[in-house]
A and B are shown apart, each in its own frame.
Chain A
Amino acid sequence: MASQEMEQLVRREYKEGFVTDIESDTIPPGLDEDTIAFISNKKGEPAWMLEWRLDAYRQWLKMTPPSWAHLDYPPIDYQAISYFSAPKREEDKPQSLDEVDPKLLETYEKLGIPLHERAALAGVAVDAVFDSVSVTTTFKDKLAEAGVIFCSISEAIRDYPELVKQYLGTVVPTSDNYFAALNSAVFTDGSFVFVPEGVTCPMELSTYFRINAANTGQFERTLIVCEKKAQVSYLEGCTAPMRDENQLHAAVVELVALEDASIKYSTVQNWYPGDEDGKGGIYNFVTKRGDCRGDRSHISWTQVETGSAITWKYPSCVLRGKDSIGEFYSVAVTNGRQQADTGTKMIHLGEGSKSTIVSKGISAGRSNQSYRGLVKVGPRAKGARNFTQCDSLLIGDTCGAHTFPYQEIGNSTATVEHEATTSKIGEDQLFYCQSRGISEEDAVNMIVNGFCKDVFQELPMEFAVEAEALLNVTLEGAVG
């Protein structure tokens, strides 16, 4: 088709329609093609990118939100959302910790977050607090030396358009699902990582270190590519509760691992879960997928999910390469009125591909949690193996846990194992610990952390310690 013509048309529309708006940093709520053109222009994107977005938008218009998840929430009015707002100016931010909600600070205290980080997390104006430039510079130099690209997705689209074009949307197509299509149309932030052939990234990459990463995007788009024999470990999120005014979050993360490459992606998600009645909490609809494109490639997802009012999230692996390996380790904790429908998909296409799923769900309060997992073995995946272990722990009588395992096995040489347990936190276990002098709250934490151990040991060391502390804070007051 005459794509260039269309590009021109669209760009002209933009010129005509948005001249007056260009001065403003935020656009009014609502979503149409003009909104998308505005975003694309604000980001200084090339024409093909805008076209890609518009194509996603047009597909999204024909789609309906998924209703199969075990979640209950009122319909979302997509016209009531503002799809672009520039980061807050420094002078509009709180100028010191004194201006920040004491309750938030109390939580940081409990999590043992260093003072200067607390300020950054709470959204205090950065130059008013500490100078992060030196840390970041050393960090950037080291990566550049190794040939690793690590930048925001917007920078990548501008500076490495060919790489982005080659990989973007190849793991999660724009029309993959309702939220992925929406994200493709309107994403404004996210990370791009490219590790060239044979390179092991010299450090763990964290969104936290990236300049300008303080404001979590509402529609984040992350793309990580590891060339042959390259390796990277990527940490997303933060254990501290993130201040965020956006209720709807729909991120897309795409991972591509070529031959013998390995990607480890760890997430700690702790967004605002809402008040006691669940009001005001974040809706988190995420599409995360890794493509083990090359032989012997390896993708591992580890997640600790404690926040959000609603979580809809299934980090998955497409095991295309021969002898490729996919892993999913998950701890999901829900308390209060939280709802989570989470799990994974392991799609075995390559011969000898292996996958491991370890899911630990902890429900407390009046929360509800579901594990939803699909293991699919294609006809050519000779000798594919999967092991799934899926455990639920209930705290109290008013919460719920559900397991929905799906298996589609198209090859008789495949081995698929599934183990599932649901247990209530034992009165006997609590009494045992307490009768040794340990308080009830510490006893609960100890038992829950023990329950999650298989997953925590997959996390990078530093994250694991934080994750434990986070679990304790999340379950505060869950018993008694």
Chain B
Amino acid sequence: MTRVTNASRRDTDDLPAVIERVVTLTVNGRPHTLRLDTRVTLLDALRDRLGLTGTKKGCDQGACGACTVHLDGRRVLACLTLAAQAEGRDVTTIEGVSGTDGHPHPVQQAFMEHDGFQCGFCTPGQIMSAMALMAEGRTGSDEEIREFMSGNLCRCGAYPNIVAAIREAAARGGHDARL
């Protein structure tokens, strides 16, 4: 469904009308129906409309990885994905990765043990990428981990600890690991 509001403007060339759309997003297994400005990104929908602020905005230009989420099990940048594009697909965010028993996911635990973060701002994106890395089979060596984690910037410089955390989590059984 598409609705045009504020269609009558005195200067329609400069003032694009706001187009809204109703979108149903399935996030961490739960469906949410939202009426959204079509310009709203998946990132802003998660953060501003669903209150899932664990996914971070570090650049809004697809260059830092802080907004990494899983879409149908694959990692994507939520800032470069329009919310409408996620309709009918499974979105998983950092809020959806802990065990149902409330225990942290093995990758989360490994990040804590290895101090794989400092300010913590890039951490949700790093963890979403790290989990995907295991599913992608890209944890065979430190070099491979470094290469395939290079889309996630960490300005605090925790990289060696991030590699150590992923190395350990992977060694203990990949994405099914239980430390």
**A interacts with B:** no
Which residues of B does A touch, CB under 8 Å? none
